[in-house]
Amino acid sequence: MIEPGFGEPDGAKVIGQWGDVRIEVAPRDAVTVVAALAIVAMFTREADADGPRGGLKHLDEALNGALLRLRSDGIFMASAGELLTLSAVAPPIRANDIIAVGLGDPDMFTPAILRRAVSHAAEEAIRLCAPSAAFAPSLLDSGIDRMLLPGVEEAMLGGLIDALAARATHGIALSCWIFCAGAEHLDAVAASFRDALLRFDRR
């Protein structure tokens, strides 16, 4: 049963429910979102020479440059589906742990890659028994062309549902999943997610 709602604390909008997991979209990034686990997507490089911006840059700065440093050292290459967990993070990051999930080469980006990345990250969130998790796609932050963005809400939702379906017979700790989005387009993003959830619910 899908129960959309509005006006949640922190500016978040409830998209609906899948099983026991409430799904929200919030005008936050991986630093400011209130969740036990914050997940950020990263490419092997940014699409433009200026490097990351927005929420991804904010997170990297909050980690003293750790994300970009580990990527440049080849410790975490951000290849598609690759996971890096940083545990016991300190303020200003509000989550307890951070996961970076790789999206591979930005020139090869497709929504299907994003779906698989979200699925991997959600499986890890479930494995870590996180009660809440937030996903920041960081596509615009990485310089991805807006023209490539149609379908990404459905892809992200699909990835989450894939992971939940794989664990359908097991009890999981996860009860809330948040997709991070920019404040300026929040209403439109929320509407896209709701439409996508309705389509999944009808299948």
Partner 1 sequence: MPDATRIRIMIVDDHPFLREGVRAVIETQPDLSVVAEAETGEEAITLYQGVQPDVVLMDLQLPGIGGLAAITAIRERSPRARIVVLTTYAGDAQALRALRAGAAGYLLKNSMRKELLDTIRSVHSGGKHLSAQVASDIAFHVIADALSERETEVLSLAAAGNSNKQIAARLSVTEETVKGHMKTIFAKLGASDRTHAVTIAAKRGIIEL
Q: Which residues bind partner 1 (CB under 8 A)?
A: 63-66, 68-70, 73-76, 82-90, 97-98, 123-124, 127-128
Contact between 181 and 27 (Cβ < 8 Å): yes
- The smaller minimum CB distance to partner 1, of residues 129 and 198, is found at 129
Shortest Cβ 160–partner 1 spacing (Å): 18
- The smaller minimum CB distance to partner 1, of residues 82 and 105, is found at 82
- The smaller minimum CB distance to partner 1, of residues 21 and 62, is found at 62
CA torsion sign, 107 to 47 to 120 to 14? negative
Whole-angstrom Cα Rg for the chain: 16
Shortest Cβ 118–partner 1 spacing (Å): 15
What whole-number distance in Å separates Cα of residue 21 and Cα of residue 81? Answer: 23
- The smaller minimum CB distance to partner 1, of residues 39 and 160, is found at 39
CA torsion sign, 53 to 59 to 65 to 70? negative
Shortest Cβ 123–partner 1 spacing (Å): 8
Q: Encoding tokens for residue 28?
A: 């936050």
Contact between 114 and 179 (Cβ < 8 Å): no
Shortest Cβ 99–partner 1 spacing (Å): 8
